[in-house]
Structure 1
Amino acid sequence: MAGRSDSDSRKLLRRLRETLAAPGGGQDRLDDITTHIADSMGTEVCSVYLFRDTDTLELCATEGLKSQSVHKTRLRLGEGLVGRVAKSGRSINTANAPAEPGFRYMPETGEEVFPSFLGVPIQRVGEKLGVLVVQSRVAEPFTEDDIYGLEVVAMVLAEMAELGAFLDQGSDAPQMQHRFAQIFRGASGQEGAAEGRVWLHEPRVVITNPVGDDPQKERARLNDAVAMLRSNVDAMLAASDAAGKEYTEVMEAYRLFAHSRSWLRRMEEDIDLGLSAEAAVEKEQSLARSRLESAADPYLRDRLHDLDDLSNRLLRILTGQGKDTGAEMPENPILVARNIGPAELLDYGRKLKGVVLEEGSVGSHATVVARSLAIPLVIHAARITSEALNGDPILVDGDMGTVHLRPEETIAAAFRDKVAMQAEAQKRYAGLRDLPAASLCGETVQLYMNAGLMADLPSLQNSGAEGVGLFRTELQFLTRTHVPRRRELAQLYSHVLDSALGRPVMFRTLDIGSDKVLPYMKPQDEPNPAMGWRAIRVGLDKTGVLKMQLQALIRAAVGRPLYVMFPFVAEMSEFEDAYRILMESVAREQRLGHGMPTDLRVGAMIETPSMAYAPKRFFEMCDFISIGGNDLKQFFFAADRENERVRRRYDTLSAPYLTFLELILARCAEAEVPVSFCGEDAGRPIEAVTFAALGFRRLSMRPASIGPVKHLIRRVNLQALRAQIDDARDRGISNLRPVITDWLARQ
């Protein structure tokens, strides 16, 4: 569109809109579109490539190339110039296409006589839909105006694809979204299975008017909406003063985006070329995401979320499509979202049957909340928010980390059989609630539950747990926009102890950092946060928060025993410092004349290999020790548990890891200090009986795991299993899982 007026650009976009409204099939529309674009730009070739599946692009329409290549020419993502545009999300402009790196010659198209090539991505807010290409016989690059104009056209095509304009029923047509069965393979955040209907946390904004007829009117609409957005952000900033300096600094950065003149100017230029205000916002959002997602700087990547949120807010102002769309939550809702905070997830509560996230992590606070609510969770389900619509049938397999959207009936029937079998097993486990976890050889294992919310505590009675082996105190900090007050925490901890009905509750002090960042705490942008400033390291650097929490615990436990556990201790001096602060807090409460706990037990979590070799005095100082298996395993194997490529390569039932656990057991036995194993592995029956065979007599797990673990322990001779483990290690077997599972199967 070089050298052409804005009115010519708008004429083309109007023709595209008319094509959208015209009767006929999707192929007819695509053919008309390529003809219109080639004619308007004065090029010999215009082609549209769309994704046939997530990795394959297909030539779906062309003006200028050989017609027999349509629906026959295909490229893998990243293959050829078209594949490079699709993979990178960036335009390629060249006067000599065959000389470009990665060029792929496709003789069936007849494109060899068109050396000039311009390809732009067809994408919608990070969702890759295809590539729009123009080519010319004249060997010269296209102009900046050409590139910009074609990006505007690609934006309109993306909206047309979203509205189903290119959907055909023929078997040769690519399957468009929102219509067909889809499988998403993510990762398990919480085990379990659920069937229900999609409920989108943030419903998609549907743009029905991508083309604007009156640029002045669209500019006015955009400016009014931006003014309202800025006002809302300024109000949020004013309210953030009470949340502390660090949160205010985050909001200030957010405000800079909202008041960016360059952002507004680019959107106004898009409107001048013929886009509506909504389409202009979404075009800039899509281009920014494609650039920032590949940015090496973690700060720039984090800003992507700010820009996304601002753009979504602006779109909702323009369209009136707020979160409250008037749609009613379906029965058996399955929440689908890119990500979600713990407070927002708690607002939904137990009405949810499951959760599916595009992002998330196995240790995030949203995952912890899902476990507390005992609902299946799948994370890393890429692109599901782009594909799912409110009310779509959906199956969530938290055990396998798999999601079936709009499943076929055969899949749904098999899934229901699995759910029925699990329900039947739970009925059997309920009958064991009041029985001890006693093995056939007479050994008894105490089974404790992990908790972090008041909603967890009814499970203490229902599951048959003998106490709370881990109470995560950080959730009360994560679900607030400001630091909780000491009085609030004391009331909460007192309520927890009341609900425990005399059973022991091990309170772990604040474990923040890594993947648990407080909303009012400035992110540290650490390259490896799991090994960074977190847990007890934060508490010892910010002693005011640690002291406040310890004082709240002491006041809550008046007249009752109190168990306090310090997390992520990596050397003895850290435990000594934390222990000293606790004792100072006790002395302070006594001086103030406050009541005291009847007993005070102080423990530590062993989550770093270094503490297995700590001085004997460390073990003698502890009244109890809990092995934090989730962190300990990732550090032992040097395998980040958030990295799916490595975390599953290393097995809990490997001989070196079990031998290392035995070393910790021996150190604890030498100091006569009780030790428990706490973490995901403690709740897996095969791992649990293995730990019991090694000598663990206390395991702490999520409430739903207590029944299955108790069921297996009661059917196993732990001494015989230990003999099998020792024999396998003597024979030099590295991974003991096959040995253990085969032996259990024979029993």
Structure 2
Amino acid sequence: MITIQGKGVSSGVGIGPLYFYHRAKTTITRYQVEDVDAEWHRFKGAQTAAIEQLGELAEKARAEAGDEAAMLFETHQMMAEDLDYEEAIEGLIKENKSNAEAAVTDVAVQFAQMFESMDDSYMQARAADVKDVSRRILSILNGTVEGGIASEVPVLLAADDLAPSETVQLDKTKILGFITAGGSGSSHTAILARTMGIPAIVGVGDALKPEYEGRQVIIDGATGNVVIDPDDMTRDRLLKKREEQLRLQRLLESLKGQPNITKDGKSIRIYCNIGSPEDVHAVQVNDGGGIGLFRSEFLYLNCDDYPTEDQQFEAYKQVLSDMEDKEVIIRTCDIGADKQIGYFNLPKEDNPAMGMRALRISLTRPDFFRTQLRALFRASAFGKLGIMFPMVTSVWEVREAKKLCEEVKRELKAEGIPYSEDVQIGIMIETPAAAIMSDRLAKEVDFFSCGTNDLTQYTLACDRQNNDLGRFYDPHHPAVLRLLQMVVENAHKNGIWVGICGELGADLTLTETFLAIGIDELSVSPRAVLPLRNAVRMTDTRESSARILDALNNEYQAT
């Protein structure tokens, strides 16, 4: 039995085989082949597998987002079996004796350059298609699988860490839990784990050895304990703990349909954070009151080029329609910092968390921003929509974003395209500047939503992705809580509501504090809804409000 200690970031006990995340190879080995017919058949096998994958993705996209979304994968299917593309690869293999990987790579470059040189914009867009299809075939030839998990059974997934673009593509049905060498409690891996309601442990360093792959492992997401080849006593103890957790979850199920009201009658809205239309089901199953944060950047992370207005519209429309009359707040694209996308061609920055990201990109690329806003306002005709701008620091940024909203609405009206006039406009409070300026910002918008992950990072000057900072990154720090209190006071003075959509919203040790300072809404991962509702219903703010407010205003000490 081998025991490894990490940091638990999503509670629960997971048991299963250990599997290391496999990334597609970025370098192509070139060599001359002797048996060209065998090499050609190797390519044909990979081509067939790619076409089958694309067909499955098309059907999944059609079910989740409509025919428009499915067309992308159907176009890629046609590209994969295009006769000119296939014959060019066959020529390199059979005449030049190139290995399949080299042949696919060279033909992809040749065809992409050909498409890019054409005058027709539609044909120019096919360059991205041929690159994507070729990458898929190369991944199969290299033995890697789209989504990184080539296993027939669910696994405990181990990785150094996972980028947002990688978490988007994971086959969620194959994951029993996460273990990462790096990362932190606010990393995307941790957030994904909490959304899925599965255990996760970060910060194990180099303790996980490649030779452990396939061995039986139990992880405890509460304690950060990883046990490889557990003995019978350890196995029984952790399985009993898992059973107790499942029993408590069944008890929480009885809270479905119950109001989020404290013992003394104070009410709070409990909404959910999601990253894709697929997550709406989890919101409904866990009785979320609405969606307080829809991270729209998943659309961009899951594409090889900018998603079109129609692609975005279909995704937003689906979420709003599925949520019926419940509120859905969609954050405009929050790319940059730790969420990098190649086709955005962002400049390399020494400190990307402080650089070109989120609303800054949208305001400096108005055509890109306008496309998203058009899709959002078109979707507003199908539900109760709120639009939220991330990474605000100044009043002028909000006014410029609102000006673009009004321009888009005028365009849609002129085109006879329906939209709702009741769309709420809000901003993320995730910088100290926004918190300090919240009295003025509140006059510009309908609501605030506090992103506590970044607010903590910028307030404490601590990189939230750096696990080595440990207790220095403290979301309970008095400075963070006092900023939240200031934001709530300024919001309410100006007649707008304020919520929290960062991970801190699910911290049950702070539920009383949030109720005491007057937070109106907490948006959390779907699995956190019922535990949070239970905490709210067990709280009596008559006993705690005065004490908490006095501590915040006077002698509060971080714990």
TM-score, normalisation: structure 2: 0.76
- Letter matched to residue 287 of structure 2: G
Report matched runs for 1:570-719 at 5 Å.
570-614=393-437, 616-719=439-542
Question: In structure 1, what is the equivalent of residue 159 of structure 2?
Answer: 337
- Residue number among 396, 410, 414 corresponding to 2:237 in the alignment: 414
Contact 1:681 1:688 in 2 (8 A): no
Give distance in 2, aligned partners of 1:225 and 1:636: 59
Letter in 1 for 2:155: P
Q: TM-score, normalised by structure 1?
A: 0.58
CA contact (8 A) 2:2 2:230 kept: yes
In 1, the alpha carbon distance for the partners of 2:301 and 2:144 equals 25
Residue of 495, 498, 504 corresponding to 2:321: 498
Q: How far did residue 454 of structure 1 move?
A: 1.8
Q: How far does the alpha carbon of each residue in 1:432-466 deviate from its partner, in whole angstroms, 9 at most, with x for none?
A: 11111211111111111111112211122222211
**Deviation by residue 1:524-558 (Cα, 9 ceiling, x = unmatched):** 33222212111001111111111101101111122
Q: Aligned partners of 2:470 and 2:549: how far apart in 1?
A: 26
Q: Secondary structure at the match of 1:620?
A: coil
Question: Aligned equivalents of 1:647 and 1:702: distance in 2?
Answer: 23
Letter in 1 for 2:462: A
Structure 2 counterpart of 1:636, one-letter code:
T
- Kept after mapping to 2: 8 A contact 1:365/1:516: no
**Secondary structure at the counterpart of residue 271 of structure 2:** strand
Q: Measure the CA separation in 2 of the matches of 1:454 and 1:468.
A: 11
Equivalent position to 2:196, from 351, 373, 376: 373
Residue 426 of structure 1 corresponds to: 249
Instruction: Give the Cα–Cα distance (whole angstroms) in 1 for the partners of residues 295 and 157 of structure 2.
Output: 24
Distance 1:482 1:188 in 2: 36
Deviations 1:476-531 (A, max 9, x none): 11011121111111111111011112100001000010111124233533222212
Contact 2:380 2:423 (C-alpha < 8 Å) held by counterparts: no
Partner of 1:174: none
Q: Measure the CA separation in 2 of the matches of 1:714 and 1:595.
A: 41
Looking at structure 2, the residues matched to 520 and 225 of structure 1 have their Cα atoms a distance apart, in angstroms, of 33
Q: What is the alpha-carbon distance in structure 1 between the residues aligned to residue 315 and residue 193 of structure 2?
A: 20
2:14 maps to what in 1?
A: 194
Equivalent position SS for 2:418: coil
Counterparts in 2 of 1:204 and 1:511: CA distance versus 1, 3 Å: closer
Change in Cα spacing, 1:529 to 1:427, as seen in structure 2 (3 Å) is same
Shift, 1:564, TM fit = 0.6
CA distance in 1, matches of 2:350, 2:230: 40
Helix, strand or coil: the match of 1:520? helix
Matches within 5 A, 1:48-127: none
- C-alpha displacement of 1:613: 2.5
* Maintained 8 Å contact 2:157/2:175: yes
Structure 2 Cα separation of the partners of residues 385 and 377 of structure 1: 14
Report the 3-state secondary structure (helix = DSSP H, G, I; strand = E; otherwise coil) of the residue aligned with 2:391: coil
**Range that drifts further, 390-399 or 626-635:** 390-399
| SS of equivalent to 2:425 | strand
Residues 419 and 544 of structure 1, relative CA distance in 2, 3 Å threshold: same
- Aligned AA for 2:332? T
Does the C-alpha gap of structure 1 residues 328 and 557 become closer, same or farther in structure 2, counting only changes over 3 Å?
A: closer
Judging by fraction of residues, say which structure has more helix. 2
Give the CA deviation at 1:628. 0.8
- CA distance, structure 2, for counterparts of residue 468 and residue 528 of structure 1: 31
**SS of residue matched to 2:423:** strand
Alpha-carbon offset, residue 633 of structure 1:
1.1
Which of the numbers 217, 231, 244 marks the counterpart of 2:103? Answer: 231
- Measured at CA, do residues 410 and 615 of structure 1 come closer, stay the same or move farther in structure 2, by a change above 3 Å? closer
Residue type of the alignment partner of 1:603: G
Deviation string, structure 1 residues 71-90 (Cα, Å, up to 9, x no partner):
xxxxxxxxxxxxxxxxxxxx
Q: CA deviation at 1:679?
A: 1.0
Aligned residues of 1:372 and 1:453 also touching (Cα < 8 A): no
Q: CA deviation at 1:631?
A: 0.6
Whether the 8 Å CA contact 2:203–2:467 is kept in 1: the answer is no
- Quick one: distance in 2 between partners of 1:731 and 1:576? 36
Q: Which runs of 5+ in 1 are unaligned?
A: 1-180, 206-216, 253-308, 738-747
Residues matched between the structures, number: 478
Deviations 1:546-579 (A, max 9, x none): 1101101111122543211000101111111111
| Pairwise CA distance, 1:376 | 2.9
Map 1:146-295 to 2 at 5 A. Answer: 181-188=1-8, 190-202=10-22, 228-237=100-109
1:642 deviation in Å? 1.0
Q: Distance in 1 between matches of 2:477 and 2:212?
A: 43
> Does the aligned pair in 2 maintain the 1:506–1:563 contact within 8 Å?
yes
Query: What corresponds to 1:522 in structure 2?
Result: 345
Superposed CA offset, 1:323-380 (max 9, x none): 69xx983544222334555565545122321233335565555555444433333344
Q: Are residues 612 and 550 of structure 1, via their aligned partners in 2, closer, same or farther at CA, if it must alter by over 3 Å?
A: same
Q: CA deviation at 1:407?
A: 2.7
Deviations 1:78-136 (A, max 9, x none): xxxxxxxxxxxxxxxxxxxxxxxxxxxxxxxxxxxxxxxxxxxxxxxxxxxxxxxxxxx
Higher mean displacement: 191-200 or 576-585? 191-200
1:442 is aligned to 265
Query: Shift in Å at residue 695 of structure 1?
Result: 1.3
Distance change >3 Å, CA 642–CA 386, structure 1 → 2: same
CA distance in 1 between counterparts of 2:154 and 2:489 reads: 49
Aligned to 2:374: 551
Deviation at 1:427, TM superposition (A): 1.0
Aligned mates of 1:360, 1:392 — CA distance in 2: 23
Distance (Å, rounded) in 1 between the aligned partners of 2:22 and 2:547: 53
| Contact preservation (8 Å) 1:363, 1:515 | no
Greater radius of gyration (CA): 1
What SS does structure 1 have at the residue aligned with 2:443?
Answer: helix
Structure number with the bigger relative contact order (C-alpha 8 A, sep ≥ 6) is 2
Whether the 8 Å CA contact 1:338–1:359 is kept in 2: the answer is: yes
Distance in 1 separating the partners of 2:23 and 2:307? 32
Which stretch has the larger CA shift, 371-380 or 544-553?
A: 371-380
Aligned partner of 2:179 in structure 1 is 356
- In 1, Cα distance between equivalents of 2:504 and 2:210: 34
The secondary structure found in structure 1 opposite 2:214 is coil
> In the alignment, is the contact (CA less than 8 A) between 2:160 and 2:182 conserved in 1?
yes
For residues 438 and 504 of structure 2, the distance between their equivalents in structure 1, rounded to whole angstroms, comes to 27
| 1:31-46 pair list within 5 angstroms | none
Name the CA shift for 1:390/1:659 in 2 (closer, same or farther; >3 Å): closer
Partner Cα distance (1:240, 1:532) in 2: 32
Whole-Å Cα distance in 1 between the matches of residues 231 and 347 of structure 2? Answer: 45
Aligned to 1:482, the other structure's residue is in SS state coil
**Alignment-derived partner of residue 391 in structure 1:** 214
Q: Aligned equivalents of 2:181 and 2:438: distance in 1?
A: 44
Give the Cα separation in 2 of the matches to 1:378 and 1:508.
28
**1:467 match:** 290
Tell me by how many angstroms 1:661 deviates.
Answer: 1.6
- Of residues 592-601 and 331-340 in structure 1, the stretch that sits farther from structure 2 once superposed is 331-340
Match of 2:341, SS state, is coil
Find the counterpart in structure 2 of residue 539 from structure 1. Answer: 362
Which secondary structure does the structure 2 equivalent of 1:558 belong to?
helix
Do the aligned partners of 1:640 and 1:647 also contact (CA within 8 Å) in 2?
no
Is the alpha carbon distance of 1:660 and 1:586 closer, same or farther for their aligned partners in structure 2, counting shifts above 3 Å? same
SS at match of 1:672: coil
Cα deviation code 1:571-629 (max 9, x no counterpart): 11111111111111111111111112151211001110111232744211111111111
